[in-house]
């Protein structure tokens, strides 16, 4: 956890925010050493004496979640993905555990996102289709949609659902902003942090079935000293309101339990005249989002016949819908092709809906 980012984002206690409607700050407990102003391990503690909830910093990643027990119960296994074991040993472990086990599921997801983020830096990677970098190309299309370039002018940037973190580095390289990547996947955050602090990374690239190949790459990316990565709930960000000039969320909206709450959380994070960049393929699944939370894709007997875009546009334009988010104005929309690699013989093609949104300036701001 970079102290520069800790000072800039000044996180507060998500438990107090959820249960009491208050926002006492988090402080770093005594007894933990820094490494060049970077806290690699430690505990953040709520300043409210009647709360004193604690949040761990693991491998430089602060895990600031209101329901810490549930989150660690679901995701802590990702911290056991090691890069110091021989690939042959990892292969034997994967064979022994077999398909569809926790190890297989986590490795598959990690391979998919790491390949898209850093495959272009891998000398062994083929240049044939599909090509890595779908997230980066989507970000570029969104920045073009929101001209003038909001990343070049921003001071504080949030990249929500940052996955392997490559888009966070692109946002840092576009200007002089402090960029904070936020995700819940601890394995991907560790990869992103390693790139940010060392300029190098590695991952197991899925070839087919249970077969993976170790890949290592150099990623001395411009602006990486201005990027950090935290584990937070994007639908309840533990930050002061109106602190970000730019908020990015690529293909995150259909991956959270409450999409409207995510929209409200992002709007709260934006400064007046700040920009929100969204992309979503509306790929709803009840494993991530209860059907009553879906934005389109159901209730074909209602207004819009189940279409997603009109409903989402209404939510992003103040006054256009009974549930619209206050203070937002939709600027422009577009469509963008996005593919996800699963293994050497399989990829999934999406069509993401892109939106550039502005936080309006009020007389009281």
> For position 310, which CATH number holds?
3.40.50.150
On whether residue 80 sits in a domain, the answer given is no
On whether residue 309 sits in a domain, the answer given is yes
Same domain, 30 and 177: no
Question: Given a cut of 70, is residue 110 above it in pLDDT?
Answer: yes
Question: Given a cut of 90, is residue 276 above it in pLDDT?
Answer: yes
On whether residue 269 sits in a domain, the answer given is yes
On whether residue 237 sits in a domain, the answer given is yes
The whole domain housing 92 covers 85-359
Same domain, 180 and 233: yes
Return the closest-CA partner of residue 228 out of 175, 297, 158, 282.
158
List C-alpha distances in Å: 84 to 90, 97, 122, 165.
10, 19, 19, 21
The number of folded domains in the chain is 2
Same domain, 293 and 326: yes
The dihedral formed by the CA atoms of 40, 43, 46 and 47, expressed in degrees to the nearest 10: -80
Quote the pLDDT of residue 364.
53
For the chain, the straight-line distance linking the first and the last C-alpha, in angstroms and rounded, comes to 31
Band of residue 335 on the pLDDT scale cut at 50, 70, 90: very high
H helix or E strand, kind and range, residue 117: helix 102-118
Q: Round to whole Å and give the CA distance between 57 and 64.
A: 9
On whether residue 178 sits in a domain, the answer given is yes
Q: Round to whole Å and give the CA distance between 305 and 292.
A: 15
On whether residue 71 sits in a domain, the answer given is no
Collapsed DSSP state (helix, strand, coil) of residue 187: helix
Q: What angle do CA 276, 65, 181 make, to 5 degrees?
A: 40
**Contact between residue 118 and residue 219 where contact means Cβ atoms under 8 Å apart:** yes
Question: Given a cut of 80, is residue 257 above it in pLDDT?
Answer: yes
Mean pLDDT of all residues belonging to the chain? 93
Percent of the chain exceeding pLDDT 70 equals 98
Same domain, 40 and 94: no
Same domain, 43 and 14: yes
**All residues at 6 or more sequence positions from 312 whose CB lies less than 8 Å from its CB, including other chains:** 253, 280, 295, 296, 353, 355
Return the closest-CA partner of residue 258 out of 300, 288, 231.
288
Q: Is 315 left (phi over 0), alpha (psi -120 to 50) or beta?
A: alpha
Quote the pLDDT of residue 235.
97
Question: Given a cut of 80, is residue 204 above it in pLDDT?
Answer: yes
> Per DSSP, what are the bridge partners of residue 27?
45
Q: pLDDT digits over 178-197, tens only? A: 999 999 999 999 999 999 99
Instruction: Report the residue count for the chain.
Output: 365
Question: Given a cut of 50, is residue 363 above it in pLDDT?
Answer: no
Same domain, 135 and 171: yes
Give mean pLDDT, residues 155-177: 97
Band of residue 304 on the pLDDT scale cut at 50, 70, 90: confident
Q: Where are the beta strands (DSSP E) in the chain?
A: 26-28, 34-35, 38-39, 42-46, 54-58, 61-64, 156-160, 178-183, 200-208, 211-218, 227-232, 244-250, 270-280, 328-343, 346-359
Q: pLDDT digits over 65-106, tens only? A: 999 999 988 888 887 677 777 888 888 888 998 999 888 999
Band of residue 362 on the pLDDT scale cut at 50, 70, 90: low
Quote the pLDDT of residue 365.
56
Beta strand 54-58 with 42-46 is: antiparallel
Quote the pLDDT of residue 31.
63
List C-alpha distances in Å: 94 to 91, 233, 285.
5, 30, 27
The dihedral formed by the CA atoms of 117, 122, 127 and 128, expressed in degrees to the nearest 10: -70
Q: Round to whole Å and give the CA distance between 109 and 25.
A: 34
On whether residue 352 sits in a domain, the answer given is yes
């Amino acid at each position: 956890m970079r102290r520069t980012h800790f000072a800039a984002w000044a996180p507060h206690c998500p438990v107090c925010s959820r249960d009491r409607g208050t926002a006492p700050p988090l402080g770093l407990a005594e007894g933990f050493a820094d490494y060049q102003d970077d806290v690699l391990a430690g505990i953040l503690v709520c300043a409210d004496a009647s709360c004193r909830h604690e949040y761990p910093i693991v491998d430089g990643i602060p895990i600031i979640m209101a329901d810490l027990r549930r989150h660690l119960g679901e995701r802590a296994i990702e911290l056991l993905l090691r890069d110091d074991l021989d690939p042959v040993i990892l292969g034997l472990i994967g064979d022994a555990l077999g398909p569809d086990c926790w190890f297989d599921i986590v490795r598959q997801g990690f391979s998919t996102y790491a390949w898209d983020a850093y495959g272009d830096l891998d000398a062994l990677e083929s240049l044939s289709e599909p090509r890595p970098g779908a997230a980066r190309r989507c970000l570029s299309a969104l920045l073009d949609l929101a001209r003038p370039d909001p990343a070049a002018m921003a001071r504080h940037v949030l990249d929500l659902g940052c996955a392997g973190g490559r888009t966070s580095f692109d946002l840092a390289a576009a200007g002089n902003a402090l960029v904070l990547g936020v995700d819940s996947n601890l394995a991907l955050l560790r990869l992103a942090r390693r790139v940010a602090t060392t300029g190098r990374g590695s991952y197991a690239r899925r070839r087919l079935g249970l077969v993976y190949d170790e890949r290592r790459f150099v990623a001395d990316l411009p602006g990486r000293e201005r990027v950090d990565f935290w584990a937070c709930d994007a639908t309840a960000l533990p930050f002061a309101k109106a602190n970000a000039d730019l908020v990015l969320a690529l293909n995150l909206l259909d991956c959270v339990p409450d999409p409207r709450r995510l929209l409200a959380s992002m709007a709260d994070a934006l400064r007046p005249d700040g920009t929100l960049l969204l992309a979503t393929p509306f790929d709803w699944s009840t494993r991530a989002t209860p059907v009553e939370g879906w934005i389109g894709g159901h209730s074909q007997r209602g207004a819009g016949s189940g279409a997603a875009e009109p409903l989402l546009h209404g939510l992003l334009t103040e006054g256009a819908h009974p549930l619209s988010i206050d203070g937002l104005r939709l600027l422009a929309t577009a469509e963008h092709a996005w593919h996800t690699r699963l293994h050497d013989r399989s990829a999934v093609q999406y069509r993401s809906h892109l939106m550039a949104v502005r936080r309006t300036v009020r007389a009281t701001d």
